[in-house]
Chain A
Amino acid sequence: MLSAMILLPLVGAAVVGLLGDAVRARWVALLTTLAVLGLALGLWAGFDTSTAAFQYVERAEPFGGLFSWHLGIDGIGLVLILLSAFLMPFAILAGWESVRERVPEYLAAFLVMEAFIIGVFAALDLILFYVFFEAGLIPMYLIIGVWGGKRRIYASYKFFLYTLLGSVLMLLAMIWMVREAGTTDIPALMAHDFPLSAQRWLWLGFFASFAVKMPMWPVHTWLPDAHVEAPTAGSMILAGVLLKMGGYGFLRFSLPMFPEASAEFVGLVFALSMVAVVYTSLVALAQEDMKKLIAYSSVAHMAFVTGGLFALNTQGLEGAMFVMVSHGLVSAALFFCVGVVYDRLHTREIARYGGLATNMPRYALFFLLFTLASIALPGTSGFVGEFLALMGIFSASSLAGVVMATGVILGAAYMLWLYARVAYGRIVHDDVRAMPDLKPREWAVMLPLAASVLWLGVNPGPVLAPVRAPVESLMARLVERGVVADASLSPARATGAG
């Protein structure tokens, strides 16, 4: 089934590429992504959440035994595949009218990207993972470089440079690992005990790549430029899915394979995450460009993920996973919200808008909902993840918890100010007054995203349940290796109890 989910979009991409007709290409692309979503829901329906073992495992040896076509997912992979498959049809819909040049190629790029993304989350062979991980960026790179805005060259160049740096270091680490362990099998590597001295270098090699992907401060500066130049759908997938590859990497590689090194580097990750929350939130406050503001807010939100992951406790890990899912939905939705008005007025300058609640009340309502989810209002998906992650961080280090919790204040400030400048106030410009409210196609994107944000906010079980067993197993490994004392938060740090 996983192979089918990887091959289907590739076949779709080929068909789309061959069609050469924009209208038919759009429908084929949309149907392909919907079919993949159907398969993903099938995975979910048949998934056993009680075990941390990999499921839907497929293994073939088409590469002469050097490495395997080895696929399989645990709850973490499942949730991220679901997220990707869920977002992709909306990305196709988002560019339905606004992209007019080289439409088949544009759609093919998205479908190829979907195949590689699913490959990343399903690969159980190190080399296979590496190929998917790096190749997945090529379509995104093209999407920015070909269908992007005025400074697309600079943006894609910057994107490339950062990623290249990370890839090279990760590649070196991988080569060493395979040499040392004698296998490319990820489950085997997850159980392999690397010596601590080697772990440190390996950890840093992987960290270079994942930190860029997240992105963590200070290797985040490619993100605002990439977002600003990318077409709406590109931003949706970039923020919604591609950034999650970094968090996934930490969960799949850094923590289980290098547990002692991970524990040693907690201070580094916490320090960078703390800086990221405060620094990028303040920078977001100063932005005049809608997309840049949301891009900077992404960096701040991803810091909750890195912080939660390296809190090395159940709440932190589960919270981090939930933040990834919620941010995937919410940031994609927010970038779509920008796209909706950009399609009408062709500017991202916040000051050009104002008063949209008057002539676009439905739009304003959806935009408000996603804004609230972004600032983690309880009842939206944003809350559960941020609450759990911060709880985990606070119990690992009260200092980190206190500093990162300031994000809830700053986040409210920059997001509500953005919302107020766009939706509230009196309409000054005639062209703004002439902007029509949501079209049916836009409803088709907004409504499912809004429903999922609210649904997961009130009933987060569907995301938390599959993640539980893998997190338990990871915690068990950390406890077994003596890295942490206890899996769950407990009154351990409180003394004199009882």
Chain B
Amino acid sequence: MVQAIVLLPLLGFLVAGIGNRALGDLGARLVTTIAVGVACALAWLVFLRQWEGEGAYVVTVAEWFSSGALRVSWQLRVDMLVAVMLVVVTTVSALVHLYSWGYMAEDSSQPRFFAYLSLFTFAMLMLVTAESLVQLFFGWEGVGLASYLLIGFWYERPAAKAAAIKAFVVNRVGDFGFMLGLFAAFLVFGTLDLSDMLAAVPRHRDTTIELLGTPVDALTAIALLLFVGAMGKSAQLGLHTWLPDAMEGPTPVSALIHAATMVTAGVFLVCRLSPLFEAAPLALDVVTYLGAATALFAATVATTQHDIKRVIAYSTCSQLGFMFFAAGIGAYGAAMFHLFTHAFFKALLFLGAGSVIHAMHHEQDMRRYGGLARHVPLTFAAMTVGTLAITGFFFTAGYYSKDGILFSAFARGREPALVAFAVGLVTALLTSFYSWRLVFLTFFGAPRWDGHHHAPHESPPSMLVPLGVLALGALGAGALFHEAYIGAHHPFWQGAIVHDRAFAAAAHDVPALVHWAPAIAMAAGFLIALRQYVLKPGAAEDFVRTFHTLHGFFYRKWYFDELYDALFVRPARALGRMFWQGGDLGLIDRLGPDGVSAAVGAGASAARRFQSGLLQAYAMVMLVGVAGLVTWLLAAR
């Protein structure tokens, strides 16, 4: 069955990709959407079976390659962790396929679009079901490719073109670490198959490897190198710069790839390798601090952006930070639970934003929105649900998952966890603020758009149905699943990830003040946004004027792009030119071939004369050589 789940989207991709124009728009839509839809139904079946305790199993499809002791096979692994990912990926993918019927209706290359969506889904499924880390890397790079293709889908736009390259190259920086992590893992474990590797972790607690001349703890090194890969894919601080730019892709893509699924691959990786990370406490602390830093950083930037998609993109970045610090403090269940609920409410927010953008004829600047609630009431309702969920309003999905993370951090009690708890609370406030700011700027107040050019209209059913389904998830997924994912009594994970039940129980039993702290932060964020953007029009502008520098710093995204441009991009180009003009032409050629020709009294004209006899000369040298060899042979007799 798992084979069918993985291969159906591939089939959809191939049919739509090869059929392309011949298949037509409707044909491509139907084939890909049905394929992913069936995969989704099967995925839920697998999920239920796993939940009932079917147990982990591995299906071998074929050998991929082997060399020496390294054996890599195409294998599909199913356990509870995989089942959760299967459900998340196929559900959001199916809904996004459907949503795109409406959103992309006027696009002229729909077969290509749907083919790419299905290609992405296939690669993501290969990633999550991988038993070999090399297959995981196949999926890892495959989703990167799909992301590249979809960010650059409107390839005529310069911004899309640049964003696509940036996404791929920044991810490659992460993959560089990932690959080194694979090499180190193979050196230590002698295998890259997950089951064997993780089973061998206890035996290597004291193993050291030599890295760049220094002996280092093997498990820590492997965990950190692989985490560099996770940072790239999941846009964590330092390697996050591609994600906001990725918003150049069509909005359904942002929802599927850059919010719900691909960007969570890093979190999945850390959870998948939780036994390894548990044995590398230093690596866990790094994950915690970096996750917390990302959560806060991205939230500060999100408070200042004008582009509706960029706000949500930074929000995604921030929420991924939450998931990472959850994993870093050892609350893998909480990290996965937030990944699960976030998929629903973030996809909802993105698709809702897409619906607004659709209504506003591709205007994305919130300064030209306002008062849209009347015009697109269903979209407004969906966005409100999504906002309630992300801010953690009582009994919504985010309430259970985000609070679960914060309580876990408090319950852990060690230093990085407590720092993360504090940072998480501040971030929760900021999250509430920027999320409501988005809603108020978009749906409330006086219209700031030109009524002659824009006639906002509600989206078609193909777009509203996915919004409805996701809204149900954003409201109910937390209440329905929290006992299973983060409960202290439920054998949900069945060993698929490290799940410390005593820790889970402690996280449910925090002091009342801690228990209410997230709610207070949420309310504070809401009230500030309400005051600034609804009750006191103009207050926001006054604030910006007063805190000009700070706002500029946040608005310019802490100057990361400028910094990287100065540190890496420009020096790389300058070095390239220097090596080329100075090294190759100026030094090697001048001292080498050109120098030789000058030395034999030549210059260009002599080289030309030389040329006519060159071939003969060459053949001559060869003949003389053979003659010489033969003479030596004769002499040797």
Chain A positions near chain B (C-beta within 8 angstroms): 66-67, 126-127, 130-131, 134-135, 137-138, 141-142, 145, 153-154, 156-158, 160-162, 164, 167-168, 171, 174-175, 178-179, 182, 184, 218-219, 221-222, 224, 279-280, 282-287, 313-315, 318-319, 355, 357-358, 372, 377-379, 383-384, 387-388, 390-391, 394-395, 398-399, 401-402, 405-406, 408-410, 412-413, 416-417, 420, 423-426, 458-461, 464, 487-491, 493-498
Contact = CB atoms under 8 A, between A and B. Distances in A.
B602 to A, nearest CB: 10
Given A402-B180, A487-B68, A157 B190 contact: no
Give me the 10 closest cross-chain CB pairs, A-B, nearest first: A314-B68, A286-B576, A488-B68, A282-B576, A378-B138, A424-B155, A394-B183, A285-B576, A424-B161, A283-B580
Most chain-A Cβ atoms within 10 A of its Cβ — which of B67, B145, B589, B628? Answer: B67
Contacts of A175: 628-629, 632
B67 A221 contact: no
Given A153-B608, A154-B607, A67 B621 contact: no
Contacts of A313: 68
A157 B68 contact: no
Contact of A425 (B158, B176, B614): B158
B431 to A, nearest CB: 33
A391 B180 CA distance: 8
Contacts of B618: 134, 137-138, 141, 160, 164
Contacts of A416: 148, 164-165, 168-169
B65 A464 contact: yes
9 contacts: A127-B626, A134-B625, A161-B596, A184-B629, A221-B589, A314-B68, A355-B156, A459-B64, A489-B70
A16 to B, nearest CB: 20
A280 B588 CA distance: 13
A167 B64 contact: no
Contacts of B172: 408-409, 412-413
Contact of A157 (B66, B142, B593): B593
Contacts of A67: 629-630, 633
Contacts of A493: 187, 209-210
Contacts, number: 255
A131 B622 contact: yes
A159 to B, nearest CB: 9
Interface string B365-400: 000000000000000000000000000000000000
Given A493-B187, A494-B207, A494-B218, A156 B576 contact: no
A131 B70 CA distance: 39
Interface in B598-637: 604, 607-608, 610-611, 614-615, 618-619, 621-622, 625-626, 628-630, 632-634, 636
A393 B615 CA distance: 40
Interface in B180-203: 180, 182-184, 186-190, 203
B186 A167 contact: no
A473 to B, nearest CB: 14
A221 B588 contact: yes
Given A286-B580, A409-B172, A167 B622 contact: yes
Contact of B632 (A142, A178, A405, A497): A178
Contact of A282 (B65, B162, B572, B634): B572
B67 A315 contact: yes
B206 interface: yes
A5 to B, nearest CB: 22
Given A130-B629, A378-B138, A283 B576 contact: yes
Given A377-B145, A460-B65, A496 B208 contact: yes
B186 A391 contact: yes
Interface in B143-167: 145, 148, 152, 155-156, 158, 160-162, 164-165
Nearest to A411: B172
Given A135-B622, A425-B158, A398 B211 contact: yes
A198 B487 CA distance: 72
Contacts of B65: 384, 388, 460-461, 464
A37 to B, nearest CB: 25
Nearest to B584: A221
Interface in B557-603: 572-573, 575-577, 579-580, 583-585, 588-589, 592-593, 596-597
Interface in B466-487: none
Contacts of A138: 615, 618-619
A406 B204 contact: no
B440 interface: no
B69 A490 contact: yes
Nearest to A417: B165
B517 interface: no
B67 A464 contact: yes
Contacts of A283: 576, 579-580, 583-584
A285 B573 contact: yes
B284 interface: no
B525 to A, nearest CB: 39
Contacts of A410: 572
Contacts of A131: 622, 626
B423 interface: no
A157 B597 contact: yes
Contacts of B626: 127, 130-131
A171 B625 CA distance: 7
Contacts of B182: 391
A377 B625 CA distance: 44
A105 B445 CA distance: 80
B450 interface: no
Contacts of A383: 138, 141
B572 A319 contact: no
A167 B141 CA distance: 43
Contacts of B213: 398-399
B212 A402 contact: yes
A289 B66 CA distance: 38
Interface string B506-533: 0000000000000000000000000000
Most chain-B Cβ atoms within 10 A of its Cβ — which of A179, A280, A416, A425? Answer: A416
A66 B634 contact: yes
Contacts of A387: 134, 179
Contact of A494 (B175, B208, B632): B208
Contacts of B588: 218, 221
A168 B621 contact: yes
A39 B564 CA distance: 54
Contacts of B584: 221, 224, 283
Contacts of B160: 424
A316 to B, nearest CB: 9
A134 B624 CA distance: 12
B183 A285 contact: no
Given A138-B615, A282-B572, A162 B187 contact: no
Most chain-A Cβ atoms within 10 A of its Cβ — which of B145, B152, B622? Answer: B622
Contacts of B577: 286
A281 B628 CA distance: 41
A167 B187 CA distance: 40
A135 B621 CA distance: 11
B137 interface: yes
B276 to A, nearest CB: 15
B63 interface: yes
B131 to A, nearest CB: 15
Nearest to B571: A282
A442 to B, nearest CB: 18
Contacts of B142: 377-379
A379 B186 CA distance: 20
B381 to A, nearest CB: 38
A489 B187 CA distance: 7
A158 B607 CA distance: 10
A491 B576 contact: no
A221 B583 CA distance: 10
A161 B593 contact: yes
A286 B592 CA distance: 22
Contacts of A394: 180, 183-184, 187
A406 B183 CA distance: 14
